[in-house]
Structure formats: structure tokens, C-alpha cells
Amino acid sequence: MKKDLKEFKTFPSSVIKEIHRAANEGIYKIRGLGAKRKVPDFDDLVFLGASMSRYPLEGYREKCNTSVILGDRFAKKPIKLDIPITIAGMSFGALGANAKEALGRGASAMGTSTTTGDGGMTKEERSSSKYLIYQLLPSRYGMNPEDLRKADAIEVVVGQGAKPGGGGMLLGQKINKRVAAMRTLPEGIDQRSACRHPDWTGPDDLEIKIQELREITNWEKPIYVKVGAARPYYDTTLAIKAGADVVVLDGMQGGTAATQDVFIEHVGIPTLGALRESVDALKELNMHRKVQLIISGGIRTGADVAKALAMGADAVSIGSAAMMALNCNADLYREDYEKLGTEPGFCHHCHTGKCPVGVATQDPVLEKRLNPVDGGKRLKNYLSTLTLELQTLARANGKSDVRNLEPEDLAALTVEAAAMARVPLAGTDWIPGFKKY
């Protein structure tokens, strides 16, 4: 007989299961990667394409430029990337040395940059990366002036999209001898990454900090300021005021190596809305294209890249997707996923150090599963695919340079996306909350 079951809307089975878990364990869940909840995103936008008033460019024939210059506001040596897709900061510690090397290889093969992370610069990533961005984080793990001078740009990290306002915790199980030595801490203990910088607070101090970094590096290196998507309009304004060459904005879908689930899912705003706010700030200050904007947080396809550029970004940054190109969540070593209580496609166990595919681990046996040369090739292929998709969409909208894509090329499929991205709902001229004068 069919049971007459009606699930509670307020307490569906997934919520009840979590309450039972919390009651048994007395502690929140910690996990890796980004938000799993559905939020308005680039899938909620479409390109209009060419028409009577827009002339398309010939695919496979007419050129469509993808290069971008980053950091020419104050730096003597800005970076010229061949593609507007960069690799986001991910720490050595969270990732293994092979993964860091593979990221460098793949990015360099496509003429783009990769980024260090909490834990400092490894020799593998420096030697494999044509352009390496060196992060200055609150913990200052591994920070030293020699590496600062070796970097191609410096990124002052204020926050990240997965946890704006939160620090980090690299759990002891991932702290082997090398990671511990780079961070000047004992092996095997949990390593807290601070949520605030130790020697500056607020935009006025940041301006002086940036001056110090420029003085140490002869005003050569572009200075990026990375913020999580908390208050993007104001944070972008303040970063510009503080003297940033480049603003990096990370939306709530951005990933992490280990953070409380409640933080990942409930703090920060979606990339789509954050990007709009940040571009508004740049335009109001007449700094759009003078201070470059890199957007990250859930970028997966060439369509995502194209839509981000159309909304006003100069480039995008990818983290989780780059890891996936290295085989994160691939259907390999199934038995090891099962030991973690998960399956390929669902894994977020970066925090455990038991990554089945050898990306987010320091375990020497697991790490061997990622060959850095092969990984680099996969990342190159992935970046190449994104670039081809980006060019295809740009040509379809009549653009000979991907940065000529514009909001007028877009329409929204949902009211929410129309409001957030400030483009009209498809088939209408309606942008919720925006009045035309």
C-alpha cells in the first residue's frame, strides 16, 4: 500500500539528518570547495547574438583578441596575459606540490598567470609559472622579501568569497614536514590562518602597506587587492583609494580548502550581483579599465567568462574548476571516495588530506596519482576550450576583442538575475529596481 507521506517544508529530511548529526557530534561541519546551494548565476543570462544592428565576425577566420594587460595604473612592469583567464590563489598545504606545479605548467602554456596561497611560494610553482602572483595574506606563512622580488605581481588578500570575514584552518592531518617548515610551525598541528592582517587595519593603513610593498619591489610589480564578495561597491572603492592596480573580487561560489559549511553557504553574495556592484564603483570613479577587475567564484565555462567580461570584468580567475581539470572529483579510485563516505561528483573532502586523485593532499602515495606534466596538459586543454568558447561568443556578438563585450549584449532569464546583473529580462525592457531617465 502506498504510504501517505508528506515532508515538512521547514524540516525536510536533509534538515532532520543534519540536526541528528549535530546532536550526535556537537560540532559544525567543515569541508572544502564552494557553496552547494543554488544561487542566481551566469546561467541565468544569455547573449543576444548578432542581428540587423550587430554584425557578427567570421568564425575560424577573423581575429578576436583575448589578451589583457593587468596592473598598468602604477606598476612599472604590468603583466600582459594572452588570455583573460587566470588561476586563483590556492595554498601549498591545501594542494600538493604536484598540483601546484601542474597549475603552473597549464597556465604558462596558455600565457596566463597562477597564484601562490597561504603557505608561501614553492620552487616548483615558481619554476613552472611564467607569471606568478604572490599573495600577501594575514598569516604571512612563508612570506619573505626574496620571493616578493621573484613574483610578477603581489596580491594583498583581504578576504575570499567562500568566507569573507573568516580566516582559515589547515587541519593537522595535512601538515607534513615540508608544509610545517614553510609555515614555521610544528608538524601535525592545526594551523590557523588569521582573518585580519597583523600590521594594518582599514583602507588608510592599506594605502601605506601598499606603499611599503612598492618600495621593497622598486614600484615594478602590479599590486592586486583581493576581496570576498561582502560589500563589493564599497570594497572596490576603498581598494582603488588605497592604490590598487588590480581588484580581485571573489563571489560566494568561490572555493576553499577547509571552512565551516555554515560560512560557505551563508556569508557573502553571489558572483553575479557582486560583479555588477564592483563595476559600478569603477565606473563612478572613472577607473573602469584603468584599475583592472578580476572576477572569480563559480566560473566554469567559456560562456561564464564571456558573460563576466560583458558585465565589465577585465579577466576572470578560476580555482575549483582548475582543480577539476586536474581530476578533482573524477571517476577514478572509487574505493577511496567510498572510504571518505562520498562519490565522484560529490566530493568536498579537501580538508581531510585524503584526496583520492592526489590534488588536495600531502600524502606521498596519493600525490603520485597526479603527474604534474599530465595535469598541466589537462589544464592547458581546459583553458584552451574556455578561450575558444569565449571567442565564439564574442564573434557572435560582433566583437573583435573579448573585452568589447558589453551589458547590451545580454538578457536575463530570471527576474533575480535581471536585478543583480542589471540587464533586461529577456523579451522586455524591464530591469527590476532600475529606473531609466
Partner 1 sequence: MNFDLNKKKLREVNNYLQNIDRKDNKRKFELSNPQGQHAICVGLKDEIDVTIKGHTGYYCAGMNQKANITVHGNVGTGVAENMMSGKVIIKGNASQSAGATGNGGTLIIEGDASSRCGISMKGINILVKGSVGHMSAFMAQKGNLIVFGDADSDLGDSIYEAKIFVKGKVKSLGADCVEKKMDEKNINELNKIFKELNISEDPKKFKRYGSARKLYHFKIDNLSSY
To partner 1, the closest distance from the beta carbon of 187 in angstroms equals 11
To partner 1, the closest distance from the beta carbon of 24 in angstroms equals 12
Q: How far is CA 321 from CA 33, 34, 266, 302, in A?
A: 10, 11, 21, 12
Q: Which stretch binds partner 1 (CB under 8 A): 92-100, 143-151, 264-272, 324-332?
A: 143-151
User: Are 269 and 287 in contact, with CB atoms under 8 Å apart?
Assistant: no
> 171 vs 413, which CB is nearer to partner 1?
171
Q: Which stretch binds partner 1 (CB under 8 A): 196-204, 316-324, 401-409, 425-433?
A: 196-204
Q: Which stretch binds partner 1 (CB under 8 A): 187-195, 269-277, 281-289, 305-313?
A: 187-195
> 111 vs 188, which CB is nearer to partner 1?
188
The yes or no reply on residue 187 touching partner 1 (CB under 8 A) is no
The yes or no reply on residue 18 touching partner 1 (CB under 8 A) is no
One of 37, 123, 192, 334 touching partner 1 (CB under 8 A): 192
What is the C-alpha separation between 156 and 212, in angstroms, rounded?
A: 12
Angle, CA of 32, 20 and 343, to the nearest 5°: 40
> 57 vs 148, which CB is nearer to partner 1?
148
How many H helices and E strands in the chain? 15, 16
One of 127, 218, 400, 428 touching partner 1 (CB under 8 A): 218
Site for partner 1 in 164-183 (CB under 8 A): 169, 171-172, 183
Q: How far is CA 215 from CA 132, 191, 209, 210, 219, in A?
A: 19, 31, 10, 9, 6
Q: x/- binding map, residues 81-120, to partner 1, per CB under 8 A? A: ----------------------------------------
Residue 407: partners with Cβ closer than 8 Å, 6 or more residues away: 310, 311, 312, 421, 422, 423
> 18 vs 205, which CB is nearer to partner 1?
205
Instruction: Return the number of other C-beta atoms located less than 10 Å from residue 394's C-beta.
Output: 28
Q: x/- binding map, residues 288-307, to partner 1, per CB under 8 A? A: --------------------
SS3 15: helix
- Nearest Cα to Cα of residue 43 among 411, 434, 391: 411
- Nearest Cα to Cα of residue 171 among 187, 194, 157, 159: 187
Residues that bind partner 1 (CB under 8 A): 26-27, 139-140, 143-145, 148, 169, 171-172, 183-186, 189-190, 192, 194, 198-200, 205, 208-209, 211-212, 215-219
